[in-house]
Amino acid sequence: MPRYADPGAVQWVESGGGPLIAIPETVLPFWAGADGDDMSCDYDRACDVEGFIGLLPVGDTRALVLGDDPASTTYLPEHGVFVRWCAADSEDELLAVVPAALAQAAWEPETEWTVPGPVVLFDAAWPGTASESTDHLRVVLEPGRYGVRAARVEPGPETWVGLVQLRRLTP
């Protein structure tokens, strides 16, 4: 699989073809990925998420599934947003359009996600215990409630970006 931004300004996470998932570090051991004896494994649950985002129970909390497209994804803390590389000629071009894309996004309905702290973004097919030995990104989040909303924006004729924004909610 080609790596679009290798090396680049930010770290991108790739998928083998399925969804990416952001799981709180505290519950990584509870995510079995595509492993398991049941008829429906955790990976199947992630694949069943319709649309850009969804939440799935994992341990005593929930994980955020980035669905719809297995696009390369990074997190930009200065904007509080997962950026999904749908189409662009370069990493510089894609990252340059993020502020404008955020301003013009037609957001889908927001959902609430409570996290106990940092999360790890990786391919949902992997077990959580193997996340550090595969393509992953640790995202530092303060414990608490977040509003999560998603959009797909086409800020240019050859540039498309998926956005999943996390907004800290007041207690």
171 residues of the chain, pLDDT tens digit each: 234 444 578 999 998 888 999 999 999 999 999 986 666 789 999 999 999 999 999 999 999 999 878 899 999 999 999 999 999 999 999 999 999 999 999 999 999 999 999 999 999 999 999 888 888 999 999 999 999 999 999 988 889 999 999 999 987
Sign for the pseudo-dihedral over CA of 62, 76, 123, 70: positive
What are 58's strand-pairing partners?
Answer: 61
The three-point CA angle 24-137-42 to 5° equals 50
Q: Which residues contact 122 (CB under 8 A, 6 or more apart)?
A: 13, 20, 21, 23, 131, 134, 135, 136, 137
**pLDDT, position 3:** 41
- pTM over 0.85, yes/no: yes
CA atoms lying within 13 Å on the CB side of residue 75:
19
| DSSP state letters, 20-88 | EEEEEGGGGGG--TT--SSSS-HHHHHHT--SSEEEEEETTEEEEEE-S---EEEEETTTTEEEEEEE-
- Predicted local confidence at residue 27, as pLDDT: 96
What are the tens digits of pLDDT across the range 30-45?
Answer: 999 998 666 678 999 9
Domain ranges of the chain: 20-168
For the stretch 58-92, pLDDT in tens is: 999 999 999 878 899 999 999 999 999 999 999 99
